[in-house]
Structure 1
């Protein structure tokens, strides 16, 4: 979800957006077509260790914290995240993260900023919801599975992702980020194969979802890699519920949508490095940074550098509210090898594999 970062004192971070050249690269390589894949069977040795089925009438605050901030996510997003009951609520067995069009005022800085004060405010044109499991659900390795229905429309940016609990390798992105699912502008005219000579009515609608890793060093020496995927028959993920998952083991992370394994990234591809006191680059152990605890984040952003500069551009303010619906969140550990997560892989040999830089 996050794009770039400037280095400040320890524990302080400020994100900066992608350049337009980077935005063009963000959709490369071309997305995987799930019609060419085979739906896998999840390995039976995944053991359920944490879940939220959202069956209670209110959010379980023993599992989730609700963010309250208007700092824009570091990506020039246009929403304030609020704890208001019209932005974060349970309805019909789903967690609803609802974006509303209408000015919202709240804290101008992100909650972990040392100068975060509720009296220091900012106003943005939308409000929305964001929940995170930090300190209440933190894991190293496992299968993270989320069933969700995504919103559509120009400017929408739902995300299911993970950040490190302890940042032992340094500030973003030296300690990593795992994006289980992101999508922007679903249902709009896609710019994936845009040809201005072709009438818009004949262009393909946006249906891509994306899986990504962020790693490397602290900004501006960070890097990100991943892939998009198109569901069979170009199904729009906003039309119904779909299951998004990763299987994360020592040295490898795999991405799935509706049990189609579409992407694998391995530690021969990722890395974490930092400078020592002499200014020399030091590379951490081979599977860093994805060998530490991470927590889950669910949010619905509106606007930002990525969605506003792709597809139909900008933000379409019609047809609000927009909703990200979460049916359940389930976390499993591989009962074979809890310390490495290995032994429970379900693999499609046709999935895209990113091996080396």
Structure 2
């Protein structure tokens, strides 16, 4: 039943998380190349969130994934303090729009859906949009069953059609940190510490596909115990994932693809589509959903909340010609 829901909703994250984790060795530790030039940043040093850089989503849509939060623009759910962005998921009933913000029929005044949690989802759409670059986020993730923190990217123009024909880039996600690990081969008593980097592509749902890699930090470190630097380098034909300068995953245009309709026929788009158009950044903390609730200890632990995704900074670099 859960696999049915995951497939139908087009957010089948659980399948790619094959419960294996990349292992660290000396060959995949690297430093950032000197030819990346800083083009955009938010250090979160002001008293308030910079609305020239970020917009808030405001809805109870559930992320298309049966999540349990309403996203708000309230200070209770997102604020800056001591140089850090706080995105806080809270256990509290809230009512809001049933449709996502970009839907043609969306109305902010709609209160047709109620959810038991609130949180925030921030994005740079039309304020920070890039084709290729290095994207860095220094962050500390929440912990507890049902938590789902994410730093990711969506297409700004949806050139190749609806999700996920136009692609999705997940820089880093973490679910259920600190709960019993369901990793294949996990030792008795092992706690969840994995992060995940993923691409979504192919065709619009329900013909979407995805590929990705999970990774465990060295020496049993947990992403919920302290700050770590998560980075993604996106260049034509290749995307690479890093944590604390450890290069743990690479995907290339030899394996990703997207199909478009030409004269009523599905044909492969040219070059490195869909990852050859501009994308924007998103930061959010979801509660539950088909992936988080179907992993580790299952469900949502109400006593674990409130939980916070802490972000120290976001920086974007690009190659200079």
TM-score scaled by length of structure 2: 0.94
What is residue 124 of structure 2 aligned with on the other side? 133
What is residue 167 of structure 2 aligned with on the other side? 176
Residues in 1 aligned to 2:59 and 2:117: alpha-carbon distance in whole angstroms = 12
Q: Secondary structure at the match of 1:300?
A: strand
Q: Which runs of 5+ in 1 are unaligned?
A: 6-14, 338-357
What is residue 223 of structure 1 aligned with on the other side? 209
Q: Secondary structure at the match of 2:302?
A: coil
Moved more, 248-257 or 36-45: 36-45
Q: Is the 8 A contact 2:38 2:315 kept in 1?
A: yes
Q: Secondary structure at the match of 1:308?
A: helix
Trace 1:113-132 onto structure 2 (pairs within 5 A): 113-121=103-111, 122-132=113-123
What is residue 294 of structure 2 aligned with on the other side? 309
Q: Secondary structure at the match of 2:292?
A: helix
Residues in 2 aligned to 1:35 and 1:203: alpha-carbon distance in whole angstroms = 25
What is residue 165 of structure 1 aligned with on the other side? 156
Question: Offset of 1:29 from its aligned partner?
Answer: 6.7
What is residue 277 of structure 1 aligned with on the other side? 263
2:251 is aligned with 1:265: yes
2:45 is aligned with 1:55: yes
Question: Offset of 1:194 from its aligned partner?
Answer: 6.8
What is residue 16 of structure 1 aligned with on the other side? 9
Corresponding residue pairs, total:
316
Residues in 2 aligned to 1:204 and 1:36: alpha-carbon distance in whole angstroms = 25
Residues in 2 aligned to 1:227 and 1:236: alpha-carbon distance in whole angstroms = 17
Question: Offset of 1:268 from its aligned partner?
Answer: 0.7
2:176 is aligned with 1:191: no
Residues in 1 aligned to 2:165 and 2:216: alpha-carbon distance in whole angstroms = 30
* Over 3 Å off, 4+ runs: 35-38
| Cα gap change, 1:286 to 1:38, in 2 (>3 Å) | closer
**CA RMSD in angstroms, aligned pairs only:** 2.0
The superposition leaves residues 214-260 of structure 1 with CA deviations (integer Å, 9 ceiling, x where unpaired) of 00111111100010000001211100000111001011000001110
Q: Is the 8 A contact 1:4 1:17 kept in 2?
A: no
What is residue 343 of structure 1 aligned with on the other side? none
The superposition leaves residues 160-187 of structure 1 with CA deviations (integer Å, 9 ceiling, x where unpaired) of 0000111111111111000000111000
The superposition leaves residues 270-315 of structure 1 with CA deviations (integer Å, 9 ceiling, x where unpaired) of 111022333x211111210100000000000000000001100000
Q: Which runs of 5+ in 2 are unaligned?
A: none
Q: 2:308 aligns with which of 308, 317, 323?
A: 323
Trace 1:248-263 onto structure 2 (pairs within 5 A): 248-263=234-249
What is residue 280 of structure 2 aligned with on the other side? 295
Q: Is the 8 A contact 1:160 1:182 kept in 2?
A: yes
